[in-house]
Structure 1
Amino acid sequence: MSSESHARENICEFARSMFDRGLTGGASGNISMRLEDGGLLVTPTGSSFGRLDPSRLSRFDAAGRLIGGDAPTKEMPLHSAFYETRGAKTGAVVHLHSTHSVALSMLPDTDPDNVLPPLMAYSIMRLGKVKLLPFFRPGDAAMGDAIRGLAGRRSAVLLASHGPVVAAKDLEAAVYATEELEETARLALLTRGLKPRMLDSAQIRDIVDHFDVEWD
């Protein structure tokens, strides 16, 4: 199997796993992955994560031209902005409409600079700080501009009333980080108002330093 064929299968396998576990439903969510030649594979517009066809994934060349497959997701501005601003640090981008993350984005006391409270080490390790961005119409190019405005300083954002967008060095890391975001959002909602014991500043700093986490 060629490296591109393997990449196509991986995208569909991870997407199906997330769909089967209810992390994104219907025809929501999208994935992109950088290939060895600098091009991208992207999930098509209007497609379900539970029924992706590897042969119909949108294929872009290194210049950003669509050269094969179905029409891509309308959320390409989100993906392009991460590849442009984070360079070699980004090998894949995952965007979901996951329930608990979206719910957290709607609450008035959610910290816009870092939406996840420090409940677990792994959310810090895999995501750093997650920025809350305002609501945009789905597909609006302004979403990409908002990510570019972060100048590559964040690997993950949460779009208000929409969902998380996570970039990572490869597809596996992007999927795991997205799942960590959703799980931490779920814990945040479950413990809201219960005064949970959170990690203190010294514990957070130790995690950030030990695992070389981006934390600005």
Structure 2
Amino acid sequence: MSEEAHLREQICRLAKSMFDRGLTCGSSGNISARLSDGSLLVTPTGQSMGFLDPARISRLDTQMRLLSGDAPTKETPLHAAFYETRTGAGAVVHLHSTHSVALSMLPDIDPDNVLPPLTPYSIMKLGKVKLLPVFMPGDPAMGEAIRGLAGQRSAVLLANHGPVVAASDLEAAVFAMEELEETAKLALLTRGLDPQLLDPEMIAALLARFG
């Protein structure tokens, strides 16, 4: 199986897994992955992540022009900005996952780091997650906001919209996205209960070891 065919199948398989577990619903959410020649495979606009057809996934060149497949997601500028600013990124996942969106709407979260340090894995897989403002869906300004971070964040949370995660490959991006959603769920479950957080020494040790 060619690199492209394998990646098309992987996108559909992992997208369906997330859809089946309620991490995204309806036609929400989108995924992209970068091929070795720099072109992108991107989930099409208006398509449910539970019912993707590998043959209809959009392929874009390095200038974001459509080469084959259906029209890509309107969030393509958001994906493109991550690839431009994080040269090691091989995949980007964007969901409308419930707990992350709920957390983004609360008035007292830290916009520079929306997830409290509850578990080692959220630190290891995500680092600090930046809260970005509310944007109209598909607004190119989302991409400009990502560029403004200068590649310093692998994950962001769009207020009232949902999380976006970039990683070295598709599986890593999906796993990191799931970690973000589970940590957001923990944050909501423990809200007001004064949970024991990881101390600064542990956080520093995790960052030193895992980056």
TM-score (norm 2): 0.99
- Which position in structure 1 is the counterpart of 2:110? 111
- Which position in structure 2 is the counterpart of 1:197? 196
- Which position in structure 2 is the counterpart of 1:20? 20
Shift of 1:65: 1.6
- Three-state SS of the structure 1 residue aligned to 2:47 is coil
Shift of 1:183: 0.1
Shift of 1:36: 1.3
TM-score (norm 1): 0.97
- Which position in structure 2 is the counterpart of 1:211? 210
What amino acid is the match of 1:55?
A
Q: Which runs of 5+ in 2 are unaligned?
A: none
- Which position in structure 2 is the counterpart of 1:62? 62
Shift of 1:118: 0.3
- Which position in structure 2 is the counterpart of 1:142? 141
C-alpha separation in 1, matches of 2:47 and 2:114: 29
Q: Which runs of 5+ in 1 are unaligned?
A: none
C-alpha separation in 1, matches of 2:65 and 2:45: 16
C-alpha separation in 2, matches of 1:144 and 1:64: 13
- Which position in structure 1 is the counterpart of 2:89? 90
Shift of 1:30: 0.1
Provide the identity percentage: 74
What amino acid is the match of 1:113?
D
**1:65-86, Cα deviation, whole Å (9 max, x unpaired):** 2110000000011101000011
**Number of aligned residue pairs:** 211
Shift of 1:2: 0.9
C-alpha separation in 1, matches of 2:2 and 2:48: 25
- Alignment RMSD, CA only? 0.6
C-alpha separation in 1, matches of 2:166 and 2:3: 21
C-alpha separation in 1, matches of 2:128 and 2:22: 25
- Three-state SS of the structure 2 residue aligned to 1:70 is coil
